[in-house]
Amino acid sequence: MPRYNATYEIHVHGDVPLRADVVFDQIQDAMRPLWSYAGAKSLTEGAASAYEEEPGILFDAHSHRLQICWTTPGEDDFRQNLEELCMGLNELTETGAALEVTFYDADFDEEDEASGRESRDDFMMLFVGPTPAAIMQVQRDLLVEDVVHMMERHFDASELSGVVTEIDKLFSQRFDALVNSLEISKPPRGGHGSHGGGHGGGRKPRHLH
């Protein structure tokens, strides 16, 4: 049911590239943690944002992209839905993508700010993708963008190649550690049984050499 006196206004924003074979029913199932939380009975009913000026949840079948700019009233329990959302989208993605989730304190106003009370606003960045490498790639790209943007205030862009190289080294180490952990968890060669290791191995993300 709609939450008319909710603690937060929760905004989810992202642009997710989907596989070409993905159909609406799969998207509806993956997005269930959002539209069902808003009290809707289907994605068609729940795709609209609480704010008319926001496009809501849109599936562009031509470009195979899921575009999200959607707000709902809610509580802290919404966080429990986010892991399920990411797991559902992982299976449908073509490449990695970022989702921004912002919790706006619904009760905070100018009088609260003037009195010095801190708002309960919170921000989360989530990542989805078909493989761990794809997820690390989008994490890497966003970090490089943020770091370069900040440092360009003090340095010329041509001076920052070493910084980008060091960031790539960190992500390469993280990727190698992930691959090693998956290798260790596999049964001995020639042994019996199976192991559901989830996303495993694969090529390293671009730039991670």
Task: List pLDDT tens digits, range 49-73.
Answer: 999 999 999 999 999 999 999 999 9
In a domain, 55, yes or no: yes
User: Whole-model pTM?
Assistant: 0.74
123 and 153 housed in the same domain: no
So what's the pLDDT on residue 147? 86
- Indicate if the pLDDT at residue 128 is higher than 80: yes
Report the distance separating Cα 77 and Cα 33, nearest Å.
11
| Closest to 102 (Cα-Cα) out of 9, 14, 2 | 9
User: Band of the pLDDT at 148, cuts 50, 70, 90?
Assistant: confident
pLDDT at site 35: 97
Q: Based on the fold, state whether residues 93 and 158 are members of the same structural domain.
A: no
Q: What CA–CA distance (Å, rounded) separates 35 from 176?
A: 37
Residue 185 pLDDT level (bands cut at 50, 70, 90): low
Same domain, 29 and 107: yes
In three-state secondary structure terms, 126 is strand
Whether residues 19 and 117 share a domain: the answer is yes
**Is 24 within the bounds of a domain?**
yes
The enclosing H or E element of 182 equals helix 161-185
